[in-house]
Amino acid sequence: MPYFYLMIAVIFEIIGTAGLQASQQFTKPKPLILTAIGYATAFYFLSLVLRTMPVGIAYALWSGFGMVLITLVGFFWFGQRLDWPALTGLTLIVAGVITINLFSKTVVH
């Protein structure tokens, strides 16, 4: 269940962050409601993950997955482009998340 809760937390973090971008610096109120709901739900499910997973590992996975997925949302929905150094950094983040999941004994499997 921890990974299921983690994925729900990541999905709602993406919803919250996309809403934050869509609010255009807090000038559009409807996306702000989406942001508040997204982040509140994300933190709730992240708190459930913390029952069984160390906070550092849970946060690394949550933020790593979140960064990669919000980058895809930014690319496809908001038309944001990244340069090679940014893509390289994201690749390293993915490598770190994979390493944690495959080799760390502190992660719940």
Q: Could you tell me the two tokens for 65?
A: 């997955």
11 neighbors 3 (Cβ within 8 angstroms): no
Q: Domain boundaries in the chain? A: 2-103
pLDDT below 50 — which residues of the chain? none
pLDDT for the residue 25: 86
- The burial of 25, by beta-carbon neighbours within 10 Å (0-12 exposed, 13-18 middle, 19 or more buried), is given as exposed
pLDDT for the residue 11: 97
